[in-house]
């Protein structure tokens, strides 16, 4: 009993610590001074080739051109003055499809599992609503990326479709991809 109480107390302390850490996190628009930090996160995210449909050998120049495109809003998450994550938000389509947002998220490997992704995603949903988007769509969620799928489901996204064998995973071969979608009106 004492043991269980102690375990509870420790869990509560950890939750408070995580809460505190997240509160200490600042999410802001990225600037040119963030290019080095963003490129480091981008590179370590795409190099294994297991989550993004991007060339794992993409150069720094190509990566920054993609992540900081003129039609794209780019953000960074900062903790204790250090960039621990980055995300982009843009229209998924043009013209009569431009009311649906699209976003992509990357978290520094040594900050994963600490709530950075979830916090950025909530910030992103708020930003998208503020900009007047009516829905958000992820076009390409690799089915083996279980933590991401769980996070999106927690945040109200549903699997709108399955693309059979649409991703070539370096270890698992051809695997399915999900299109995920949620309304921003509710």
Residue of 4, 70, 95, 110 that binds its own copies (CB under 8 A): 95
HSE value, Cβ hemisphere, 13 Å, CA-based, for 134: 5
Q: How far apart are CA 56 and CA 110, in angstroms?
A: 20
Nearest to 24 by CA among 76, 74, 81: 81
Residue 170 lies near its own copies (rule: CB under 8 A)? yes
Q: Using N-to-C axis directions, what is the helix angle for 146-154 and 116-130, rounded to 10°?
A: 50
Residue 140 lies near its own copies (rule: CB under 8 A)? yes
Residue 179 lies near its own copies (rule: CB under 8 A)? yes
Q: How far apart are CA 166 and CA 171, in angstroms?
A: 15
Q: Rank residues 151 and 179 by Cβ distance to its own copies and give the closer one.
A: 179
Q: How far apart are the first and last CA of the chain?
A: 43
Stretch that binds its own copies, among 6-14, 44-52, 73-81, 82-90 (CB under 8 A): 44-52
Q: Rank residues 2 and 185 by Cβ distance to its own copies and give the closer one.
A: 185
Residue 132 lies near its own copies (rule: CB under 8 A)? no
Instruction: Indicate the helix (H) or strand (E) that contains 95.
Output: none
Residue 67 lies near its own copies (rule: CB under 8 A)? no
Residue 65 lies near its own copies (rule: CB under 8 A)? no
Structural tokens at position 56 = 């794992």
Which parts of this chain interact with its own copies (CB under 8 A)? 46, 49-50, 52-56, 58, 93-100, 134-135, 137, 139-140, 159-170, 174, 177, 179, 181, 183
């Amino acid at each position: 009993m004492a043991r269980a109480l102690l375990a509870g107390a420790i869990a509560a302390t950890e939750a408070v610590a995580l809460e505190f850490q997240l509160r200490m996190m600042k999410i802001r628009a990225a600037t040119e001074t963030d290019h080095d930090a963003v490129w480091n996160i981008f590179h370590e995210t795409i190099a294994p080739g297991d989550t993004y449909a991007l060339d794992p050998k993409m150069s720094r120049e190509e990566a920054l051109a993609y992540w900081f495109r003129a039609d794209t809003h780019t953000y960074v998450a900062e903790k204790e003055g250090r960039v621990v994550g980055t995300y982009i938000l843009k229209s998924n389509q043009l013209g009569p499809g431009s009311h649906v947002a699209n976003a992509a998220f990357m978290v520094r490997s040594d900050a994963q599992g600490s709530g950075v992704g979830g916090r950025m995603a909530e910030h992103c949903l708020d930003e998208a609503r503020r900009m007047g988007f009516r829905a958000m769509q992820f076009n390409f969620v690799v089915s083996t990326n279980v933590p991401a799928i769980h996070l999106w489901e927690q945040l109200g996204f549903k699997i709108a479709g399955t693309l059979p064998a649409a991703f070539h995973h370096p270890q698992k071969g051809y695997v399915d991809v999900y299109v995920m979608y949620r309304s921003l009106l509710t």
